[in-house]
Amino acid sequence: MDTNDSLRVASLWHSMHAISQQLSPTTGCSEIELLEADTFDLHIFQSLTGTKFFVVCEPGTQHMEALLKVVYELYTDYVLNNPFYETKMPIRCELFDINLTQAIQKDRVALLGR
């Protein structure tokens, strides 16, 4: 996805998240963590500061919550410590990108045995 597609998904998710809090039949429901569709699953992790991280995967893929927590740790280690990063802006940090790619490959190897 390019930057514009990412912003569209984030905007759509933010709206769905806000509406779901009002429509939830469960009292105290605060967020959507998983959206299951026929062709994909969309997992979300929301940090205490409200920053949301998404992963789109094959239906039924396991351990995405753990992967999202790793992504958040990488975000705090590389992006938030980058003096040139401005919050609410797209992430442009080479060290984050490199370590994110390694984390995804490591997760893929662990899940698929490849």
Tens of pLDDT, residues 39-94: 989 898 888 888 888 888 899 888 899 999 999 999 999 999 999 888 878 888 99
What would the pLDDT profile of 13-23 be if each residue is shown by its tens digit?
A: 778 877 877 77
pLDDT at residue 1, as a whole number: 67
- In whole angstroms, give the CA distance from residue 77 to residue 95: 10
Nearest to 81 by CA among 93, 67, 70: 93
Residue 41 contacts residue 34 (beta carbons within 8 Å): yes
